Amino acid sequence: MQSTEAQIRKWGRSAGVVIPKEILEKEGIRVNDKVEILIRKKSNPIKETFGTLKLKEPTEKILKEIDEDLWND
């Protein structure tokens, strides 16, 4: 199962979603195949704009270092 972002586009009096060719090939999907689509509207504009924070060190280690620094002052 693949996940991708898509934009709804006007298609006559209806709307459609374009699936990238790479995903079609990877999943072995061809024109007229039936597929299941999970529809979920994006709802967190801040996360969408800035992404998620990726740390080089585990959160537990960072919190432990902060705690040690605060208690040593």
Instruction: Give me the amino acid identity at 71.
Output: W
pTM of this structure:
0.48
pLDDT along the chain (73 residues), means of 10: 84 91 92 88 70 74 82 69
CA 9 to each of CA 41, 61, 62, 68, 72: distance values in angstroms, whole numbers, following the listed order: 14, 46, 44, 54, 58
d(CA 34, CA 14): 18
d(CA 3, CA 20): 11
